[in-house]
Structure 1
Amino acid sequence: MSTLELDSVSIAFGAVHAVEDLSLHLQPGEVYALLGPNGAGKTTTLNMILGFLRPDRGSITVAGADAAADPLGARARIGYLPETVMLHPSLSAIENLTYFALLAGRKIDAATARQLLSEAGLQPEAHERLAGNFSKGMRQKVGVAIALAKQAHLLLLDEPTSGLDASAANDLSNVIRAASERGIAVLMATHDLFRVKDVAHRLGILRAGRMVDERDAATLDPVALEQLYLQRLAS
């Protein structure tokens, strides 16, 4: 069974067709990069998968749960990292993780929290630090640990490398690979063509809500990917 299935999904806001006839299937462990400029429909697509928006046509299922008919069930299978991961600033990384895991229906102890934070790439010396002092990259790692704690089937990333330095972006790539190796499917909406080539198995290019190209990432070198992206946006 596919982890994520979008079948002929469309949504419009008045006269604006934000997403039109979009189909996309992700298998367990697959990393898919959804490319496109601002306004292409990437974030709208993520919000439909999360059940925050209901498509006008088509269907979305997450590990067997219908995102429109059962949005809570679908979200229970998803780990979501928005562009800015919001944590409780007065709680430590361990406390944030145990709190959000509890909200997802899983009670974990401090030892398990430490293990998950380490698997997500957060250095041990940061586990008991207050999250209010965390960088964006550190907050993302806690967010990934939360996804691991709730045993998510799907990880959604919205512009994950925006505002990250090269070292933090590289750490994020390692975390994405580790999630993939655990069988978690990853859908990342991004402008970062270099990172796409670094971690994605497949990629799709959205323009004005429509999928205009889809490729295996391994078939394109970075220069060819950039040329394809610019060509598809211009055509």
Structure 2
Amino acid sequence: MDTPALIADDLVVLRGGRKTVDGASLTVAPGEIYALLGGNGAGKSTTLFAILGLIKRSSGVIQVAGHDPEVAPDAVRAAAAYLPENVALYDHLSALENIRYFLGLAGQTRTGAELDQAFDAVKLAPAARTRRVSGFSKGMRQKTAIALALLRQTPVLLLDEPTSGLDPAAARDFHDLLIDLRKRRVATLMVTHDLFGAADTADRIGVLQGGRIAQEWTAAAQGPRFDIQALHQSYAGPDAA
């Protein structure tokens, strides 16, 4: 059994005097995709922010590639690539220029062949790579950001609603890429409302309710990965069809 690349144990986070996260616990092993579902305000994004060290936890344990974000924030951010729901890129720069710039901020350089390999992996057309991203669709922006995550070669990937606003083809490409990252032994934590995408891709699915993991499922080794109807009823409530 691999040592988890990401650990959150009995995590508590206060925001505005309220326990937004109240005892949440989860682990993600190398090469595992964990999908975290939950309604609006359930604490999903807050959990990601605490893992990154962007907000302080009140109690509990967080380890990212063996580092505590409050003790070693730079080490955590070097070990974890984060993809927000709305990717922030410089519109006046091309996809290639954005990636080179952000790699430079991280103190990293990559060869032209490595850059092409990353763009090929995310299926960003060669003609688009030197275009300004001001004209990019959301899917193209997501592909650029994922290419950057690939090039950073971090052991942990954190995703916040990665398929929100994507068309079905772009969402399928994204999930195919996650499966490729699994082969590369990347530990992926994906916050999402996309139940069907999670069921197709994830190795484990957890539902965050009341600030803690209320239910968790593991994909079957054989046959259908998850019982979609059972997942839907648990996630959407007893009135869900």
Relative to the length of structure 2, the TM-score reads 0.92
Q: Decide which moves more: 74-83 or 120-129.
A: 120-129
- Quote how far apart the aligned CAs of 1:107 are: 1.1
The CA distance in 2 between the partners of 1:117 and 1:85, in whole Å, is 16
2:186 paired residue number? 184
What count of residue pairs does the alignment treat as equivalent?
A: 234
The CA distance in 2 between the partners of 1:48 and 1:227, in whole Å, is 29
CA contact (8 A) 1:94 1:110 kept: no
Change (3 A) 1:233 1:104: farther
Which stretches of structure 1, 4 residues or more, deviate above 3 A after TM superposition? 231-234
Deviations 1:198-231 (A, max 9, x none): 1100010011212110111345222221112134
Q: Secondary structure at the match of 1:160?
A: coil
The CA distance in 1 between the partners of 2:239 and 2:69, in whole Å, is 29
Relative to the length of structure 1, the TM-score reads 0.94
Q: Secondary structure at the match of 1:143?
A: helix
Q: Decide which moves more: 34-43 or 112-121.
A: 112-121
- Quote how far apart the aligned CAs of 1:14 are: 4.1
1:38 pairs with 2:40: yes
1:75 to 77, 82, 92: 77
Structure 2 portions without partners, runs of 5+: none
1:228 to 224, 230, 234: 234
The CA distance in 2 between the partners of 1:145 and 1:13, in whole Å, is 33
Q: Which amino acid aligns with 2:236?
A: L
Q: Secondary structure at the match of 2:47?
A: helix
Once the two structures are superposed, the pairs formed by residues 159-170 of structure 1 within 5 Å of their partners are: 159-170=161-172
How high is the sequence identity, in percent, across the aligned residues?
46
CA contact (8 A) 1:105 1:150 kept: no
The CA distance in 2 between the partners of 1:134 and 1:9, in whole Å, is 38
2:30 to 15, 23, 28: 28
- Cα RMSD of the aligned pairs, angstroms, is 1.7
CA contact (8 A) 2:233 2:239 kept: no
CA contact (8 A) 1:98 1:109 kept: no
